[in-house]
Structure 1
Amino acid sequence: MTVIGFLSVSPVQEGSLAPAVAHAVAALDEYDVTYETTPMGTVIEATDVDELLAAVGAAHTAVDGDRVSTFLKIDDKRTSETSAADKVDAVERELGRPPRRER
């Protein structure tokens, strides 16, 4: 089984969030997950929901601050093996082109 999560972790603060996001992303390296960071969050893939939640908890804890905001969306499709790349590939097939537009 593959569980896909979309994670956004940040302290509630002014200024650049990059240092805090870097701490959260680095914390994921301690877990058996794959991930890709995007401008709006990080897509995480794990073999089961427990591993995903452990990694997310570590990412949340790694961010220092008086107040930390964490958003998590989980896709736990239990009837088949579908990776994040498979999902993007399916959209690409439907579009007939890469699902990306450059300015």
Structure 2
Amino acid sequence: MTVVAFLSVAPSTNDSMAPEVAKAVAALDEFDVSYETTPMGTTIEAETVGEIFAAAQAAHEAVDGDRVGTFLKIDDKRTKNTDAASKVEAVEAELGRVARSGDGGS
């Protein structure tokens, strides 16, 4: 089964978070997960919850700072194999269009 998760790792800083967030994203490459980074966090897919937890822990620990906030939301659908793309496709089917505004949504 595919486990889908949303991960956001954010250091407390007055400067840009990009360098530290890049470290967190790079840490995911050491694990058997696929991921897509968005402006507010990263969607991760793996075969097990354990892989998600291990990757999230590594991402959290990769970030330097006096204070780091990490949010992890896991969707472990155990009755059906559903990946992140199919979840978006289901919403788009209901909408009858792509699930974004602007040029891509009209």
Identify whether the pair has TM-score above 0.5, normalized to the shorter chain.
Answer: yes
Q: 5+ unaligned residues in a row in structure 2: which ranges?
A: none
Distance in 2 between residues matched to 1:102 and 1:48, nearest whole Å: 36
| Secondary structure of the corresponding residue to residue 54 of structure 2 | helix
Distance in 2 between residues matched to 1:66 and 1:9, nearest whole Å: 13
TM-score, length-normalised on structure 1? Answer: 0.97
> Aligned residue for 1:9?
9
> Aligned residue for 2:74?
74
Taking only the aligned residue pairs, the percentage that are identical comes to 68
How large is the RMSD of aligned CA atoms in angstroms? Answer: 0.8
1:26-74 deviations in Å (ceiling 9; x for gaps): 0000000000000000000010000010000000000001111100101
Corresponding residue pairs, total: 103
Corresponding letter in the other structure for 1:62: A
TM-score, length-normalised on structure 2? Answer: 0.95
Say yes or no: does 1:28 pair with 2:13. no
Distance in 2 between residues matched to 1:61 and 1:19, nearest whole Å: 14
Structure 1 runs of 4+ aligned residues shifted over 6 Å read none
> Aligned residue for 2:96?
96
Corresponding letter in the other structure for 1:36: E
